[in-house]
Structure formats: structure tokens, C-alpha cells
Amino acid sequence: MDAPETPTDGLNIVVCIKQVPDSAQIRVHPVTNTIMRQGVPTIINPYDLFALEEAMRLRDQYGGQVTVLCMGPPMAEDALRRALGLGADKAVLITDRRFAGSDTLATSFALATALTRLGADHPVDIVFTGKQTIDGDTAQVGPGIASRLELNQLTYVSAIDTLDQGKGEIVVRRRAEGGVQVLKSKLPCLITMLEGSNEIRRGSVADMLRAARAELTVWSAEEAGVEDVMMCGLRGSPTVVKRVFAPSARDEQAEMVTVEGKQPAQIGDAIIDLIFAAQPKLEADLSAALN
Amino acid sequence: MSEHFDAIVVGAGPSGNAAAYTMAKAGLNVLQIDRGEYPGSKNVQGAILYADALERIIPDFREHAPLERHVVEQRMWLLDEKSHTGAHYRSDDFNEDKPNRYTILRAQFDKWFSRQVRAAGALLITETTVTNLVKDDAGRVIGVETDREGGPIYADVVVLGEGVNALVGQNAGLRPELKPQHVALAVKETHFLPEQTVRDRFNLAGEDDGVVIEVVGSVSSGMVGTGFLYTNKESISIGVGCLISDFAETCIPPYELLDNFKSHPSVAPLLKGSEMKEYVAHLIPEGGYNAIPRLTGDGWVIIGDAGQFVNAVHREGSNLAMTTGRLAGESIVQLKAERKPITEANLKLYRDKLADSFVMKDLKKYRRIPALLERNKQLFTAYPKAMSQALQMFLRVDGTDKRSKESAMMRSVKRARGSWLGVATDMFKLMRAWR
Ligand SMILES: Cc1cc2nc3c(=O)[nH]c(=O)nc-3n(C[C@H](O)[C@H](O)[C@H](O)COP(=O)(O)OP(=O)(O)OC[C@H]3O[C@@H](n4cnc5c(N)ncnc54)[C@H](O)[C@@H]3O)c2cc1C
């Protein structure tokens, strides 16, 4: 299948999204202890929606096109169609049995390869991803793509301040430990968006109809440009899942500590008193160690 | 830019899917709109699927639809506080090539049905609520408004498969507001149990064999209502429903009713060790024939629960929904083929098809039942109790001679209803309503 048409002017933005099971509705099989995926609705990874909205805002302001890219099984088409209904312009699904079992290394390889193909006619200006996925929680795929494509990576971005197309520069705010960094980068770059940075829009009737009718671009590994399939799927994934298990319920109880006054020391004392009251041995051991 | 379709179907439940499928398959340009996150996401059913109605739409559905178990045994229970009097019917004849009834999980079934509708060529948009109908100056319905930006969407006909609440039809003044005595509120839980446990507990020899239990009596705490328990592959669905008007009068919380049902000594062992997966509540239209609203007009037609098409006595709803959806779809296809406008007059075609089908015939047959039950609640309380007492007397061996026992049994039935005249009247009314 041909690559979707690229914009003749304006930004060429690609947002990588993942279809994930709705974690709020996942159950663990009481007998086999495995995750019961059957019948669990799938959603777009919620963090990716912040990336998609930010991408669409840039498009609306500067012109251009937003393409959503997803690696997944054929049913991941649902996620792409939903993204189109939210206002994305084009959708590309890369799907191949040989992608099955990909860890973050293999996933970033496949996505980076497809991104290269997508940028063949008109280079991609910005790649967006969510901060992380709710099913893997690694936050590795975005940076993985950036390093494979040698893009500047702007992770945990909470806002985009300015974009200068002439100079090919972008200024963003990045949440860092203990504060906010203001970073300037050359385009192209990769941005992972932080949750809560914006609110995903509701597509119009026209968006929804366009999404329902859209012909998605569907690529196999070869079509996406993969030359070495050993880099894909299970074979390209050094990560080994040793065991999956459901943590057994613990019968600890939470307690709310209310303290008069707001001095940190007072609050600390109150909590420590409470802990010592419940664990006299800990108190004895600690004071023995301190003396 | 506003779009124009041959037909817009509101709702992707069984009725809307049947209508959209029928029309799309015949080549009409169909748009279907559902407010759910995905089709079926909020829909609730017991759920028994009656094969016949679906087979007339998708003949080979058994090969690919997500079905749980086919029903080999039906149990009908009269429930008293501590006992049940039951009639069980099981037959190996139900283990046929093309079984007649299945248990299903609606969320999965609706998704599957919707895929067939889209494969047939209909466009579907979800997470979109139809807020009102658009009419032209002559009052003819020409399209719908939604809760999304971008203006109305137009069509030659709007098919309302919006379910029991039917707010679109109501807002557009096509139908009156629902009456509380015409709707039941049902609550239902799905309980996970390992497959083998389900089979052991219900004596199911075949892997896909299933049992359903329908319950009347103390399960409704004196209100007009019924309970049910159905076996799925790896779970049990259990629920109870009563008229809204009765809930309002008694102030009994629905979940309390369900809790009592679940802890009944005849039911608790069937659920023992299970893990609750889901709790849902939904309305069921139970007004029957006399509650059916006007069904057609210029540019609009009503199908499924929105038209009160539920046979509460036999617990049939989805099959009536699919059949009315199909008949409406076929009528529209025919009118289109004949290049006739979709007007109230021309939609006589749909009304005639309905009158000719089991849907109207059955609802007409039972037209007296809803009012009868509502006015004779003793049917739900007195008789199950009398039956239980009589049988207990009959079965206990305690030195009383049989003749004395028989007269005591008769007395207990009479006492239950106050007088023999009362019993006779009940029987007469029931028979008359059934005919
Ligand atoms: C607890 C319970 C048990 C039941 N058990 C059985 C059973 O065992 N067997 C059986 O045959 N029947 C059973 N029924 C009845 C059966 O579920 C219904 O008759 C059937 O679902 C009706 O189908 P429908 O398509 O008319 O409506 P629904 O299935 O209710 O579908 C209506 C659809 O319309 C959508 N919608 C509504 N308003 C709008 C709007 N404004 N804009 C866009 N979309 C809208 C909804 O999201 C929904 O998807 C049961 C019902 C209940 C509640």
C-alpha cells in the first residue's frame, strides 16, 4: 500500500498511538491467574491522547497534517479510526504476525522504520508519543524512536511555547525533578507529552463520518520498510517475561492522620507515633540502635 | 457541508442492527448512530438469544457469532421464602444441529452484530447522541441533530431503534412519555465461575449445554416482577426486575431484591464461590400491546424496545427487536425500489408486515396480562406460598392420615386467597388473559 499523501506545505506531524486494554475493566482469571483479555474493551492509550491533541493544535495553528501511526494486530484499526474521529488527518497501521511479542526495543525499531518511510517524500517535522503506556508503563518507546532516528528528544513535555517554522525551532516546557525546564530544540524532534497538558477535543460530525469511511493505510513489515525481520517481534525482543501473577490481596488498612497545625514536624511526629503504636518492636529496635 | 443518506438508524442494539443490516445489504446508503463508546457498550440483556429471529437476517450466524451455551434445560420456579416449587424440562432434542436458544453476553454479541452491519456497507458512528429530529415545514422528518458540532445530518427516513427510553421520539413529539407502570427496572449481575464448575452444578454433559431458570414468587417481594438465572460459558447471569411503579410504591431498593434472591437457599449453592464481574441496571418495556406508541410517520419509523416490543410473559425482547428492525428495513427497501416516498401512508407496508408477524400476534394475545398482573399482585405472593405449604404437607410423613392432609392442603390454598371465590376468579381472569 502507498504511503498516505504528505502535506505540500505546513507541518508533517506523526503521532504514535497504541491500542491498550481498558485497564479499569481487566480481570484476572481466578483459576488460571492469567489476565482475561477476552471481552475487555480496548481504548487508545490515554497518555497518547495528550500527544494527539497537542499535535492537532500545532496543525490548526501552523497548517499541515497529523498522521496517527500504530503498530498492533488488525483490530488496532479501531484505535486509529477513533483517532481520525477525534480529528487526525491520516492513519497508518503496521501489522504483521512477525511483530507479535515485540518489547520496547523491537517496537521502537518497527515504528522508527515506518516513520522513515512516512518521511520519504516530505520529512516528518515532529514525532509525538504519549509519556508511557498504561499496559507496559516503560516510557521507553518514545526515546527509543528518537535515538534510532537521531532526533532530539523532548520528554515529559507539559506545554509547547513557540514554534518557528522559518528557523525550524521549537520551545517547550518540560517537567523535571524539582521544577520546569524551558527547552529549545531544532526540528525535527520527538516529543512525549505529559498527562493533563491539554484536553482532547471532540470531533465534529464531519470528522466522525470521515473516520467511518476512511481507508486506512495498512503496512506489513516489508511495506513499512523493514529489511531485517530478526529485529522485529519476539526475535527482536531481548526482554523475557519470567512470570505473570496477580498480587494477592493484602489486608492492610489505611488510616487518615489528622493533625492540628500544619508544621511538617508536627505531622511527622503524629505519623511516627502512630507507626510506633502499631509496631512497638520497631520503636524499641530503633531507639536501641540510636542509643 | 451536510450529508444526505437513504436512511439514518438511531441505535446499534439488536433492532437498529437488524434494520441497518437489512437496508445496507440491499444497497441503501445507511448511517447508524449510537451514543455508546462502542456498539453494545451500555446494552443489557439476560441474555437469551432466540436463534430464529437472527437466522432470518444472518442465516449462518452460528458459525461466527459469540454464543455462550445452547439451552438444553428450562427450569420454572415458584419461589417462596425458603422453598421453590419447580417444573424442569430438559430434552436431548435441544442438542440439535441448529439449536433454538442460546445464552449470550450482550457486549460481545452486539460488537459482533455491528461488525456484520458495517461489513454489509452501513456507516457507523459511535459516541454520538442523537439529540433531536429535524423536520421540514410540512412536519416531515428529514434528518437528525446530534451532540457533535457540524450541523444536522439528513436522510429520507429516520429509523428509531433507540431502546426503551425513546427520548428522541419523545422530544420530537412523536410519542408520549413512558408511563411507570409500563416499564420494569431490572438489575443483573454476572458472576464468574470456572467452566467445569458451571457444568458440574447444572449437570451439563455437553461442553456447550446450558440451563436457564425463570423465577416468580417471593423473588419480587410482592411486586409485579420476575427473576432469572442463566448459565454462560464461564459465568452465571442472575437478575430480577419489577415494575417501576411498584418500586416507587414499595421503596424497596432493587439491589436488595437481588441480594435476597442470591441468598435464597435454592439459589445460593448455585453461586457459591463465584466472583462478581459486573453489576448493571436497565429498563424493560412491559406495557405490552396497549402501550405500543404510534409506530410510523412521514420520514420516521419506530422499532424494538422503543416501540414497547417485549413479550414479558415469555421474556422475549431481542427477537422482537430484530424482527421489527428487519421488517422496517425490508419495507423501506421495498418503498425505495418502487421509488415511493417514505410517508406515513406508504409505511402501511411496515404496519401490515408487523400485524402479520408473531410480534403483533403474540403481544395482542397477551394484551390483558400487564393490567391483570398489576391489579392482582396476590398472584405473585399467595399462590407460590400456598403451593409450597401444600406440597410440604403432602411430603411430610408425620402420622396424619392422607385424607386429613388433603383437606388441610385445600384449606391452605383457600386461605391463601381468602375464599374459593377469590381463587376461582383469579383462575378465570388468568385464563381469559392468556387466551
Ligand atoms: C435484564 C434484562 C434481561 C433481558 N433478557 C432478555 C432475554 O433473555 N432475551 C431477550 O430476547 N430479551 C431480553 N431482554 C430484552 C432485550 O434486552 C431488549 O428487548 C433488546 O435489547 C431491545 O433491543 P433494541 O435494539 O430495541 O434496544 P437496545 O438494545 O436498548 O439498544 C438501543 C441502542 O440505542 C442507543 N441509543 C439510545 N438513545 C440514543 C440516542 N439518542 N442517540 C444515539 N444512540 C442512542 C443505545 O446506546 C443502544 O445501543 C432483557 C432486558 C433486560 C433489561
Residue B43 is part of a domain; what is its CATH number?
3.50.50.60
Tell me whether residue B351 is in a domain: yes
Among protein residues, the one with the nearest Cα to ligand 1's atom 15 is B317
The answer to whether residues B168 and B215 belong to one domain is no
Tell me whether residue B84 is in a domain: no
The residue of chain A nearest to residue B40, with distances taken between CA atoms, is A41
Spell out which residues of chain B touch residue A19, defining contact as CB-CB under 8 Å. none
pLDDT computed for residue A234 by the predictor: 84
Sign of the Cα pseudo-torsion (B31, B33, B37, B39, in order): negative
Q: Is it true that the peptide bond before B51 is cis, omega within 30 degrees of 0? A: no
The answer to whether residues B333 and B233 belong to one domain is no
Test B146 with A41 for CB contact under 8 angstroms: no
Low-confidence ranges of chain A (pLDDT < 70): 30-39
Tell me whether residue B425 is in a domain: yes
pLDDT computed for residue A31 by the predictor: 67
The answer to whether residues B298 and B325 belong to one domain is yes
pLDDT digits 0-9 by tens, B295-352: 999 999 999 999 999 999 899 999 999 999 999 999 999 999 999 999 999 999 999 9
- Among the candidates B219, B253, B285, a domain finishes at B285
Per-residue buried b or exposed e for A75-102, using 16+ beta carbons within 10 Å of the residue's own CB: ebbbbbbbbbbbbbbbbbbbbbebbeeb
Residue with cell 488496532: A76
For A11, list phi and psi in degrees, rounded to 5.
-85, 145
Among protein residues, the one with the nearest Cα to ligand 1's atom 39 is B162
Which residues belong to CATH 3.40.50.620 in chain A?
11-236
The answer to whether residues B129 and B210 belong to one domain is no
The answer to whether residues B201 and B131 belong to one domain is no
pLDDT computed for residue B1 by the predictor: 53
Contact A56, A192 (CB under 8 A): no
The answer to whether residues B30 and B153 belong to one domain is yes
Domain assignment of residue B356, given as a range: 4-68+99-178+290-367
pLDDT computed for residue B423 by the predictor: 83
With a 6 Å cutoff on the Cβ, whether B359 touches ligand 1 is no
Across the range B202-216, mean pLDDT stands at 95
Tell me whether residue B86 is in a domain: no
Query: Whole-prediction pTM value?
Result: 0.89
The answer to whether residues B272 and B321 belong to one domain is no
The answer to whether residues B427 and B385 belong to one domain is yes
Tell me whether residue B412 is in a domain: yes
Ligand 1 atom closest to residue B34's alpha carbon, by position in its atom list = 44
Domain count along chain B:
3
pLDDT computed for residue B38 by the predictor: 87
- Among the candidates B242, B260, B285, a domain finishes at B285
Find residues 133-162 of chain A whose CB sits inside 8 Å of chain B: none
Beta strands B48-50 and B69-79 are unpaired
Give the minimum alpha-carbon distance from A204 to chain B in angstroms, rounded to a whole number: 5
Spell out which residues of chain A touch residue B41, defining contact as CB-CB under 8 Å. 41
The answer to whether residues B127 and B39 belong to one domain is yes
| CATH C-level class of A11-236 | alpha beta
Tell me whether residue B90 is in a domain: no
Tell me whether residue B233 is in a domain: yes
The answer to whether residues B306 and B166 belong to one domain is yes
With a 6 Å cutoff on the Cβ, whether B370 touches ligand 1 is no
The residue of chain B nearest to residue A203, with distances taken between CA atoms, is B148
- Tallying the residues shown for chain A, one arrives at 291
pLDDT computed for residue B242 by the predictor: 95
Order of strands, sheet of A90-94, starting from the edge strand that comes earlier in the sequence: A179-186, A169-176, A152-164, A189-193, A126-130, A11-16, A64-71, A90-94, A217-219
pLDDT computed for residue B431 by the predictor: 81
In angstroms, the CA B153 to CA B144 distance is: 6
The CA-based angle B123-B129-B131, given to 5 degrees, is 120
CA B112 – ligand 1 centroid, Å: 15
pLDDT at position B126 over 60:
yes
The answer to whether residues B398 and B409 belong to one domain is yes
Could you tell me the CATH number of the domain that includes residue B267? Answer: 3.30.9.90
pLDDT digits 0-9 by tens, B246-265: 999 999 999 999 999 999 99
Tell me whether residue B138 is in a domain: yes
